[in-house]
Amino acid sequence: MASLKDEHKVLPGVNENRAALTFEERFRQFGFAVLLFILALALGGFFSTGYFSTAQKENKNHTLRLYYERFGRLQTEGKLKVTAPFSNSGEYVFRLDGDFSDNFQPGNISPQPDRMFSQGKAIILVYNAIKNHSDFSVTMYVTPTTPGKAVSRVSFNNGPEIRFWQFIYP
């Protein structure tokens, strides 16, 4: 097959743009490979839930674990799961801070907190008199309200925090 450079036939009444035709030819050569690459990224979770997106973090003294998705879509609900070890006091106080309240709308929280309030930009969840003698987990479904990168923090009973980022696609 002859390339566009070899063909110089000019049709009457047709104004050809050589740069556009060259771009189209290159795209036809490599476009399928680019499409497969984007598809592989999507299946791998680079744009939402999947292998590259699923993340787990722990604080310095290993008293708090966070499970979340690094990548999400605007207005698409995502899941945060925070797990803390048994507390002798029976009170569990979780604090979500940073860009969290500016970029996410909390939805369903399981189990329901005894008290939930905001303090400045922080959202605080309080659980009283928990009789469970094993790890305590809170699952929160959140909806991103702003696209872009958001850096948030979560802490438990005024202990060391976990700093995490999420990128939200429009």
Neighbours of 58 (CB within 10 A): 13
Q: Looking at residue 2, what is its pLDDT?
A: 55
Q: Looking at residue 27, what is its pLDDT?
A: 85
Please name the helix (run of DSSP H) or strand (run of DSSP E) that holds residue 159, with its range, or none. none
Rounded mean pLDDT, 64-84: 93
Q: Where are the alpha helices (H) located in the chain, listed in sequence order?
A: 18-44, 100-103
DSSP string, 49-60: SSTTTEEEEE-T
Q: What is the pLDDT of residues 128-165, one digit of tens each?
A: 877 777 888 999 999 999 999 999 999 998 889 999 99
Q: Looking at residue 144, what is its pLDDT?
A: 95
Q: What is the pLDDT of residues 94-121, one digit of tens each?
A: 999 999 999 999 999 999 999 999 999 9
Centroid of chain to Cα 63:
23
Q: What is the pLDDT of residues 25-61, one digit of tens each?
A: 888 888 888 889 988 888 877 777 777 888 999 999 9
Query: Reduced to 3 states, what is the DSSP secondary structure of residue 99?
Result: coil
Q: Looking at residue 133, what is its pLDDT?
A: 75
Domains and CATH numbers, the chain: 15-44 (no CATH), 55-169 (2.60.40.10)
Q: Looking at residue 29, what is its pLDDT?
A: 86
Higher pLDDT, 92 or 1: 92
Q: What is the DSSP letter of 114?
A: S
The answer to whether residues 153 and 162 touch, using CB atoms and an 8 Å cutoff, is yes
Q: Looking at residue 7, what is its pLDDT?
A: 60
Higher pLDDT, 1 or 39: 39
Centroid of chain to Cα 105:
14
Q: Looking at residue 4, what is its pLDDT?
A: 54
Q: How many Cα atoms are found within 13 Å in the side-chain-facing hemisphere of 59? A: 18
Q: Looking at residue 143, what is its pLDDT?
A: 95
